[in-house]
Amino acid sequence: MEDNLKKMHDYFEMNSIPIGKNEPGKSSKIVTDKISNLNQDSIDKFIEHNSIRNFDTLLSHGNDIAQDIEQFYSDTKSNNKKQQDPLLPLHNVLKIMKIVLPEYSKVSQDARITMQECASEFISFIGSEAAELAKMERRRTLTAEDIIMAMTNLGFDNYLPFSKTLLEKIKHESSNRYSARRTRRNLD
C-alpha cells in the first residue's frame, strides 16, 4: 500500500481523469496536483477503512476519489482531535459508579469507558455553557452560580437540589478549614 499515491498519480495522469463532476477542460494536471497534495497516510487509511483490496477497486469508486480521500482524511483528523479531549480518570469514574451500584456488582471495561466518556462530555457540555454565561458578563472566572445557571438553562433542573446541597456543604467545609488555619496561626 506504500505506492498508492504514486499509482493514483500515474493512473489519473495516464487517463486524464478530471476531478469531480467531469467538467470539460479540466486536465489531468489538476487531478495529479490534487492527488499529489494528499497525504500518503490518508490514502492508506481510506483504503483500509473502505476495505479496498486492490487499486482497481479503489479506482472504481469514481472520478472524485481525491475529494473522497480528502473528506475522509479531514474527518479522521477531527476524530483524532476529539479523542484527545481530556477525560475523567477511569478509576474515579469507577469509584462513583460503585457508590450507586449494589455491593458485589461487577462493571465491564466497556461500561467503564462508556461512563467515562459520558461523564466527561456532560462536564464539558455544562462547562461550555457556564463559560458562555461568564463571557457574556465579561468575566474569565467561572463561579458555582455559573454552573448552576448553565444547568438550569440546559434543562438539568432535576440535578439542582443535589448540586445546591453539595455546594453548601463544600462552602461550609471550606470556611471551617479557613477558620481552623486562622486559629492555628493565632496560637503560634
Q: What is the DSSP letter of 63?
A: T
DSSP alpha helix (H) spans, 105-159: 109-136, 144-153
Mean pLDDT, residues 136-153: 93
pLDDT tens per residue, range 42-97? 666 655 655 555 555 555 555 455 566 556 556 655 555 555 568 889 999 999 89
pTM above 0.75, yes or no: no
pLDDT > 80? residue 134 = yes
Question: What's the CATH number for 90-186?
Answer: 1.10.20.10
pLDDT > 90? residue 18 = no
Pairwise CA distance, residues 116 & 94, whole Å: 8
pLDDT > 80? residue 128 = yes
Which amino acid is present at 131?
A
Instruction: Domain ranges for the chain, please list them.
Output: 4-80, 90-186
Pairwise CA distance, residues 85 & 6, whole Å: 35
